Amino acid sequence: MKFKTPFLLAVVFASASLSAAIIGTNPPVQPLTRERIATLPAAQQPAWREYLEHSERQMQADRAILQNEIKTNGLKNPVAPREVTGVKGIDLDRPTAWYGQPEGRRIADIIVSFQTPAGGWSKNLDMTSSNRAPGELFAPDSISLFPAPQDNDAPHDIHWNYVGTFDNDATITQLRFLAKVVAADPQRSDASRSSFLRGLDYIFAAQYPNGGWPQVWPLEGSYHDAITINDDAMLNILTLLGDVASGTNEFSFVSAETRAKAGASFQRGLNCLLACQIVANGRRTVWCQQHDALTLQPASARNYEMPAQTSGESAHIVLFLMQLPNPGSNVVATVRAATAWFDAIKINNAAFQENGAEGRMLVPAPGSGPIWSRYYEIGADRPIFGDRDKSIHDNVNEISRERRQGYSWFNDTPKRVLEHFRRWNPGLNGR
């Protein structure tokens, strides 16, 4: 059943006059385990077992290298790294020549020093001040500022989480920077070249047998094992692999063999992305922020991130698909179904804005919109909202003020999708 905009809006505002409606509880996600792999068809199990064993071996090797550094340098405890938000300071928009100059090469050296033994990079690290010191952790703790019992975001080890990740633009940003340094100064960039190729191998190793990628590799467990679309993690990987496979611009130094490997990895990833599109009531819709590694079903993440159809990340996926040259019939069908869904569930005449002491709230705003809720209930297409206690609500105004203030619950990104779709003509490519 597809709800139209007036119905959606009526549901949103009608519930504001009722008592708080908790419509469910966010379930925990299942990590990748041997027990779960054993439930797969026999022919699929060997590849998944090999993948999991490789991850476990790499995790042990990574930890052993840090412990050896601590022991060799006479340290009692590992050194805490300097933390920043995202990938601050790693600039990808400088003039081409800048990357071959002393400042560009200096930052490249720091980036190389923070590469994990597995070949990736962690998030929220300062990679512009100084090289990683022996015995320094590869990642800050990144623990929740609002811990709770049985918190979905609680790490198994506060000193070892997000060690190698695609979250918050990590790994992909570092690889793009290194490629620019190599292209700008090929005669003095051996370390950057080697680090870049190790980073590509990290991407290849982290890719699941079905083509998806986890958020963290080696695998960390919990929702980090899910195929991660959130924050454009999978799109960032696919876009980089597509650029590498093309061998153009700063990637011309990559060998033909590696370009072919990147192209094959890209295609497997694209096929997985298309397979993850949610089908509800017999119709294709959009995507969840995470999908289970084995079943591809929508999966939860943090306490307030429930299995749901998501608008923002799905909009970015559709924009990505519409940029593909020579899209196949499956890509065309995927795009058409997703845009139809976006058009059906848009919200007009409402705004999510500051409302005095109550903080941000969804309020009537004649003439405003369209906007889209971040999450929609699968099968019902109604907006839903999560809170830190794992409760799921049908009214954003009923969740805690802290979560209303600290999370992006509405966006207008699908508007760009609908505008671009009107101009998109896959028939020009023979479809």
152 is catalytic: no
> Is residue 338 one of the residues assigned to a domain?
yes
User: Do 56 and 159 fall within a single domain?
Assistant: yes
Each residue's pLDDT tens digit, 336-393: 999 999 999 999 999 999 999 999 999 999 999 999 999 999 999 999 999 999 999 9
List beta partners, residue 228: 290
Sequence-ordered strand ranges (E) for 355-426: 360-364, 372-373, 375-376, 385-386, 391-393, 410-411
User: Do 137 and 261 fall within a single domain?
Assistant: yes
User: Do 184 and 239 fall within a single domain?
Assistant: yes
Q: What is the pLDDT at residue 386? A: 97
* Count of Cβ atoms closer than 10 Å to residue 252 Cβ: 13
CA distance 247 to 366: 50
Phi/psi zone of residue 350: left (φ > 0), alpha (ψ -120 to 50 degrees), beta?
beta
Q: What is the pLDDT at residue 20? A: 55
Q: What is the CATH number of the domain that holds 202?
A: 1.50.10.20
User: Do 261 and 347 fall within a single domain?
Assistant: no
188 is catalytic: no
CA distance 235 to 245: 15
> Is residue 19 one of the residues assigned to a domain?
yes
User: Do 83 and 216 fall within a single domain?
Assistant: yes
Structure tokens that stand for 247 in this block: 């061998």
CA distance 52 to 34: 8
Structure tokens that stand for 51 in this block: 């993948």
> Is residue 245 one of the residues assigned to a domain?
yes
Averaged over 235-260, what is the pLDDT?
Answer: 97
User: Do 240 and 340 fall within a single domain?
Assistant: no
User: Do 108 and 224 fall within a single domain?
Assistant: yes
> Is residue 308 one of the residues assigned to a domain?
yes
User: Do 19 and 37 fall within a single domain?
Assistant: no
Q: What is the pLDDT at residue 151? A: 85
> Is residue 307 one of the residues assigned to a domain?
yes
> Is residue 92 one of the residues assigned to a domain?
yes
Q: How many domains does the chain have?
A: 2
**Residue 5: pLDDT band by 50, 70, 90 thresholds?**
very low
- Mean pLDDT across the chain: 92
Q: Could you tell me the pTM of the whole model? A: 0.93
Looking at 231, 259, 275, the residue that finishes a domain is 275
Averaged over 125-145, what is the pLDDT?
Answer: 89
User: Do 195 and 139 fall within a single domain?
Assistant: yes
Q: What is the pLDDT at residue 142? A: 73
- Residue pair 19/398 in contact (Cβ under 8 Å)? The answer is no
Structure tokens that stand for 273 in this block: 């992305």
Structure tokens that stand for 356 in this block: 């005095």
With tokens 């290298």, the residue in question is: 65
User: Do 215 and 94 fall within a single domain?
Assistant: yes
* Count of Cβ atoms closer than 10 Å to residue 337 Cβ: 18
User: Do 5 and 149 fall within a single domain?
Assistant: no
Each residue's pLDDT tens digit, 17-34: 444 589 999 999 999 999
Each residue's pLDDT tens digit, 30-86: 999 999 999 999 999 999 999 999 999 999 999 999 999 999 999 999 999 988 887
Each residue's pLDDT tens digit, 200-218: 999 999 999 999 999 999 9
Burial 295-324 (b: 16+ CB within 10 A, else e): ebebbbbbbbbbbbbbbbbbbbbbbbbbee
> Is residue 298 one of the residues assigned to a domain?
no
> Is residue 295 one of the residues assigned to a domain?
no
Query: Which of the residues 198, 302, 374, 404 is marked catalytic?
Result: 302
Domain containing residue 331: 1-26+303-431
Does the N-terminal peptide bond of residue 370 adopt cis geometry, omega within 30 degrees of 0? yes
Q: What is the pLDDT at residue 207? A: 98
Sequence-ordered strand ranges (E) for 202-262: 227-228
Q: C-alpha dihedral over 318, 322, 323, 328, to 10 degrees? A: 110
The residue with greater pLDDT, 190 or 12, is 190
Looking at 231, 258, 275, the residue that finishes a domain is 275
**Residue 11: pLDDT band by 50, 70, 90 thresholds?**
very low
Query: Which of the residues 26, 168, 210, 303 is marked catalytic?
Result: 168
User: Do 412 and 323 fall within a single domain?
Assistant: yes
CA distance 230 to 407: 14
